[in-house]
Structures are given as C-alpha cells and as structure tokens.
Amino acid sequence: MRDIRDDLRERLAAIQTAFNAATEEHENQMIALQAGYRQKADALERERQAVLQLLKIEEARATSSGPSIARHPALPLSEFIITKLHTIGPMTKEQIRAEVDRAGYLEGEATGRTFHLTLMNISGAGGRISKLPDNRYIAQSRSDATLFSPSHPERHLMA
C-alpha cells in the first residue's frame, strides 16, 4: 500500500484555497449589496424628507388661510334632499339643512337661499316632496325616481 498522506494534504490545501476564495467572493458581494441598498435607502430618505417639508408647508398654508379646499358633492342638491328624506324619513327644514350643510352643499358660493329655493322647488305643486301638517317634509313615495333608483334617467351616467 502506498502512503497517501501527501495527496490528502494537497487536497486539504486545495479545499482551503477554494474556501478562502468563496469567502472573499461572498464578502465582496455583501459589500456591493450593502452599497446598493445604502444608495437606494439614501435616495428614498431624501425623497421622504422633501415630501415631509412640502406637507408641512401645505399644512401651514391650510391652517393660516382658513378652510382648505371646498368639497364638491356628487349629487345635485335636490337629489340629495330627496334621497335623505327617502333614507331617513320625515324631517324638519332645520334637520334637512343640517344634513345639507354637513354634506358640504353650503360651502363657497352656495348659500342658505340656494337651499331654501331648492326645497321650495321640489316641494311645490306636483313636487317630489311634500310638507306634513307638523311642518316636516316627506318624500312622495319610494317609487319616485331618485338618482339611486333604476328608473332615473341619469342613472346610466353613474355606471
């Protein structure tokens, strides 16, 4: 039998060289990966800081100039009133006005006069709502065409 210890030592040295090369390659890849991450993280942090600064400016502007952007309700005022009466039931003029105000209809150029005229127009003769003896308003019937009912002529526009 032949002595193979020298062969095994050479094999061990080759394995150690390969191990050292793999470790060095791993370390280089980790350095490159960390550098790439750091670049992306720094860029995102700069962007985050810029957006935070813009937000601070806009918040300061909004609080110093009073109400910010007026809401623009989606329904016409008359449809909103009729829908509320269908949903909630009979309401006084003050209750209806509170709902209208809460929904943002009385901001900007719209006034209480706009609300009053709209209420009178839809509650007049042949109107879609009527006034009860106790001064509350009620929708004529649930079968009337509201913007949410299938028979309303503008319903197809919302789809």
**pLDDT value of residue 156:** 43
**pLDDT value of residue 72:** 59
Token reading at 18: 């390969």
This prediction has a pTM of 0.45
**pLDDT value of residue 125:** 67
Residue ranges of domains in the chain: 1-69, 77-151
> pLDDT digits over 8-52, tens only?
999 999 999 999 999 999 999 999 999 999 999 999 999 999 988
Provide the H-helix boundaries in the chain.
5-64, 77-88, 93-102, 112-123, 155-158
**pLDDT value of residue 71:** 55
The parts of the chain modelled with pLDDT lower than 70 are: 65-73, 108-110, 125-126, 142-159
Distance CA 145, CA 42 (A): 58
Structurally, what CATH architecture does the domain formed by 77-151 represent?
Orthogonal Bundle (1.10)
Q: Is 136 exposed, middle or buried (0-12, 13-18, 19+ CB in 10 A)?
A: middle
How far is residue 118 from each of residues 8, 71, 97, 155, measured CA to CA in Å? 100, 19, 11, 21
**pLDDT value of residue 46:** 93
**pLDDT value of residue 104:** 80
**pLDDT value of residue 55:** 87
**pLDDT value of residue 154:** 46
Closest CA to 71 of 40, 42, 102: 102
Closest CA to 140 of 118, 155, 125, 158: 125
